[in-house]
Amino acid sequence: MRASGKLTLDLISSAEAVTLPGLFLRRCERTPEAEAYRQYDAATGAWQSYQWQELKALAGRWRAALARENLAPGERVAILLRNGVEWVCCDQAAQSLGLAVVPLYVTDNPENIAYILRDCDARLLFVRASDQWQALAPLRARFPGLARVLCIERAATAVAGAGIEVSFVSDWLAGEAEAMSAGQVDAHALATIVYTSGTTGRPKGVMLSHHNILWNAETVLKLVPCYREDLFLSFLPLSHVFERTVGYYLPIMTGTTVAFARSVQALPQDLLAIRPTILVSVPRIYERAYARVQQELAQKGTLARTLFDAAQRIGWRRFEAAQGRGAPPGPLANLQWPLLRRLVADQMLARFGGRLRLAISGGAPLSPTLARCFIGLGLPLLQGYGLTEAAPIVSANPTEDNVPDSVGLPLPGVEIKLAGQDELLLRSPGVMLGYWNRPQDTRDAIDVDGWLHTGDQARILNHHLYITGRLKEILVTSSGEKIAPADLEMAITSDPLLAQAMVVGEGMPHLAALIVLDPDAWPGLAKTLGLDPADPASLQATAATQAVRGRIRRLLRSFPVHARVRIVWLTLEPWSVENGLITPTLKLKRVEIARRFAREIRELYGAHRLTA
């Protein structure tokens, strides 16, 4: 253990940990009285703190109770819980017994959850509340292997089991605490089955070993260090392997405290209450923050916009100079910066709690516009890249060599190369064991030399990796032009008015876009166009579609002519996990959106809509 200034580097290596429960026990033994977790207690209205020694005792009770279920090593336990101490205890207890944990998204729909329960043949299911089980109970016949459901919250009335025993965790936990043990688990044994989002079909179960995850977490720390004094705010679901590795196992490895956010909706308040030093997020959260700022600037007027733009511009030049990529700002800019920092930059950083040392973005591409804005205003934003099949981090930008347009440098020990159609291939100790019960899919994904075929198109420049598209998400127009729609969609949704977008045009003469407008920004635009914002017909009025097309034209002006969007269809109804149009990781379900809006797409491409 060594100190770096006021920061303490206290790493437990993967070799010392051996397994994930081994990592947990080593941490509990090394820093027993340090704060492990912080969780909001709704009953008291206060944040409750947990020491590592408290978690060790609590996890021991969970392990003793789970051992009484007499499940064989390798059998599956499904977790349908929001982030919290209960998630940690369930995960550690199950893995210490050699069981495979299957995390589920609490926002996922019952049909998809039922499919996963059947596919993995889960024996136990943990849920927060009985109503989660009641939504699944009608589908009981689809997952006959499930033997018991355990609820965290006690119901006021009896819970119908649909032929399955339903119990409450408070009754189920062992009365006497038993010592937590790491068990006799092999480092390369199956630790978890993580189901991919399924943007184009049924999700596949990715099998990851203890060593896959431990190696990945330890290797991330070689590029992006983390210290015992850091404080994470965890709000991405632990069912997302990005959050699970970087926001859960990695902090155990470094002895860092994790606070569990109450919800995404309460995130702005929790940021102010917790004041984290590290935030792990997907781009959508930064997009929402950016949209709010843009809306506020529009209300404040010209002076506020002028100050904001000046702060962003000078701040970006300072960042580029610090990275060794450009000349520093001139004397006048240096004189202006202290005032701009106080009036603009510090106000922006205060929204994130005012103490962020690192803001990490992954899971999807980050818009260059957003990166330039936040970095220019002093947010230490680092973009990375990964995929579930790699446990998951493949590359990351270190603070001293941060190229925001890229997804960073490959982690030490990750080999990468480009194959046909510039597909990115990688090889590392983090690569999955395979897909659950899908041997052919496994052979298709991992070749005989151990290279994982990612399906992502990439380029490599000055050792940095750039993701340029998806092989399966390339649109080919009737003129033979190949276009990556995700790049266009990312540019389009940088406008606060345009909350969600999907570009279409396979086999068509030009591109069109389905656009979900921000409900708070739409009334202002409608009134300027002389339209009634409450009238659904206003969304398809020529004035509205032309105004949106004009915005999109400006946003896409740097793209080739064949990648311009010519026609649009507008709606205010958001695409959500609940209505089945995005995945729990907030990615578009393209096939489902195209099916749901097939009539609208056909109308867009009608002869009367082919306007320039």
Looking at residue 472, its pLDDT comes to: 74
CA distances from 226 to 221, 231, 444 (A): 7, 10, 36
* Domain spans in the chain, listed from the N-terminal domain onward: 11-185+224-281, 474-609
Q: What pLDDT does 176 receive?
A: 67
How confident is the model at residue 607, as a pLDDT?
A: 40
Least confident segment among 282-286, 394-398, 449-453, 493-497: 282-286
Across the beta sheet with 257-260, the strand order is 46-51, 35-41, 257-260, 231-234, 278-281, 358-361, 381-386, 393-396, 409-410
| pLDDT (average), residues 172-191 | 88
Q: Give the mean model confidence (pLDDT) for residues 222-228.
A: 96
504-554, pLDDT tens digit by residue?
988 888 899 999 999 999 999 999 999 999 999 999 999 999 999 999 999
d(CA 375, CA 316): 7
pLDDT of residue 578: 85
Contacting residues for 86 by C-beta, under 8 A, at least 6 apart: 126, 152, 169
Is there a common fold for 11-185+224-281 and 474-609?
no
- Give residue 604's pLDDT: 87
Q: Count Cβ neighbours within 10 Å for each residue of 581-611 and write b for 16 or more, e otherwise.
A: bbbbbbbbbbebbeebbeeebeebbeeeeee
Q: What is the mean pLDDT of the chain?
A: 92
- Block residue for tokens 């965790």: 169
Q: Which of the four pLDDT bands, split at 50, 70 and 90, describes residue 291?
A: confident
* Vertex 180 angle, CA 174 and 186, to 5°: 125
Given a cut of 70, whether residue 106 has pLDDT beyond it is yes
CATH topology of domain 474-609: GMP Synthetase; Chain A, domain 3 (3.30.300)
Segment 8-16 shows an average pLDDT of 96
- Contacts of 22-25 with C-beta under 8 Å, sequence gap 24+, read 22/182, 22/185, 22/210, 23/214, 23/249, 23/252, 23/253, 24/55, 24/56, 24/59, 24/92, 24/180, 24/182, 24/252, 25/56, 25/180, 25/181, 25/182
Neighbours of 334 (CB within 10 A): 12
pLDDT tens digit sequence for 119-139: 999 999 999 998 899 999 999
% of the chain residues with pLDDT over 90: 75
Q: How far apart are CA 21 and CA 30, in angstroms?
A: 14
Q: Please report the pLDDT score of residue 80 as a whole number.
A: 97
Q: Lowest-confidence range among 145-159, 402-416, 432-446, 563-577?
A: 145-159
According to the model, what pLDDT value does residue 584 have? 80
Residue at 334: amino acid letter: N
586 pLDDT tier (thresholds 50, 70, 90): confident
Q: Tell me how far apart the alpha carbons of residues 454 and 333 are, in angstroms, rounded to a whole number.
A: 44
Q: Which residue has the higher pLDDT, 325 or 154?
A: 325
DSSP secondary structure letters along 578-592: TTTSB-TTS-B-HHH
CA–CA distance, 590 with 57 (Å, rounded to integer)? 46
CATH top-level class of 11-185+224-281: alpha beta
- Assign 3-state DSSP to the chain and report helix, strand, coil percentages, each to 5: 40, 20, 35
pLDDT(156) > 80 = no
pLDDT at 298: 86
Q: What is the pLDDT of residue 609?
A: 41
Contacts of 195-201 spanning 24+ positions with Cβ under 8 A: 195/102, 195/116, 195/119, 196/388, 197/583, 197/584, 197/585, 197/587, 198/112, 198/583, 198/589, 199/583, 199/587, 199/588, 199/589, 199/590, 199/591, 200/472, 200/589, 200/590, 200/591, 201/591
**Which residue, 81, 91, 83, 143, is CA-closest to 112?**
143
pLDDT score recorded for residue 198: 56
The predicted pLDDT at position 612 comes to 34
Mean pLDDT of 51-77: 96
Assigned token pair, 208: 């990851």
Residue 419 gets which letter from DSSP? -
Percent of the chain residues past pLDDT 70, beyond the cut: 95
Average pLDDT rounded to a whole number, residues 370-377: 94
- The residues that bridge with 281 in the sheet, in sequence order, are 361
CB neighbours (10 Å) of residue 273? 17
Q: What is the structure's pLDDT at 157?
A: 63
**pLDDT, tens digit, for every residue of 436-488?**
999 999 999 999 999 999 999 999 999 999 998 878 777 877 666 778 788 88
- pLDDT bin (cut points 50, 70, 90) of residue 284 is confident
Which H/E stretch holds residue 285?
helix 283-300
- Residues 301 and 413: their CA atoms lie apart, in Å, by 51
